[in-house]
Amino acid sequence: MISKEILPQQYKFSEKKIDVFFDADFSLIEAKLQKDKTIFITDENVYAAHKEKFSGWQSIVIKAGEQFKNQQTVDLIIQHLIDLHADRQAFIVGIGGGVITDIAGFVASIYMRGVKFAFVPTSILAMVDASIGGKNGIDVGVYKNLVGVINHPEFLLYDYSFLETLPDHEWVNGFAEIIKHACIKDSEMFQLLEKRSIAKFQQSSEDTASIIKRNVDIKYNVVANDEQETGERKLLNFGHTIGHAIENESKLPHGHAISIGMVAACHISEMINDFSKADTRRISDLLGKYELPVSFTSDKEKTWEILLHDKKKSGINMSFVVLDSIGKASIKSLPLDQLHKIFNSI
* Whether 16 is catalytic: no
Using CA atoms, how far apart are residues 154 and 91, in angstroms rounded to an integer?
A: 10
Listed residue (67, 264, 294, 96) closest to 176, CA to CA: 294
Please pick, among 44, 229, 270, 305, the residue that the annotation labels catalytic. Answer: 229
Please pick, among 50, 185, 214, 233, the residue that the annotation labels catalytic. Answer: 233
* Whether 305 is catalytic: no
Count of residues engaged in binding a copy of itself, rule: CB under 8 A: 31
In terms of C-beta density within 10 A (0-12 exposed, 13-18 middle, 19 or more buried), how is residue 206 classed?
exposed
* Whether 233 is catalytic: yes
CA angle, residues 271, 307, 328, in degrees to nearest 5:
45
Q: How many other CB atoms sit within 10 Å of the CB of residue 76?
A: 15
* Whether 177 is catalytic: yes
68, amino acid identity: F
In the list 71, 161, 221, 333, the residue contacting a copy of itself (rule: CB under 8 A) is 71
CB closer to a copy of itself, 55 vs 314 = 314
Listed residue (318, 314, 266, 311) closest to 287, CA to CA: 266
Q: Does 272 bind a copy of itself (CB under 8 A)?
A: no
Q: Which of residues 105-144 bind a copy of itself (CB under 8 A)?
A: 109-114, 135, 137, 140-141, 143
* Whether 206 is catalytic: no
Lay out the site mask for a copy of itself across 284-313 (x = CB under 8 A, - = otherwise).
-------------------------x-xxx
In the list 87, 206, 274, 299, the residue contacting a copy of itself (rule: CB under 8 A) is 87
Q: Are strands 143-147 and 138-140 parallel, antiparallel or unpaired?
A: antiparallel
- Angstrom CA distances, 100 to 246, 278, 293, 330, stand at 22, 38, 25, 31
* Whether 237 is catalytic: yes
Interacting residues toward a copy of itself by CB under 8 A: 71, 75, 78, 82, 85, 87-89, 109-114, 135, 137, 140-141, 143, 145-150, 309, 311-315
Q: Which residues are catalytic?
A: 113, 135, 177, 219, 229, 233, 237, 240, 244, 254
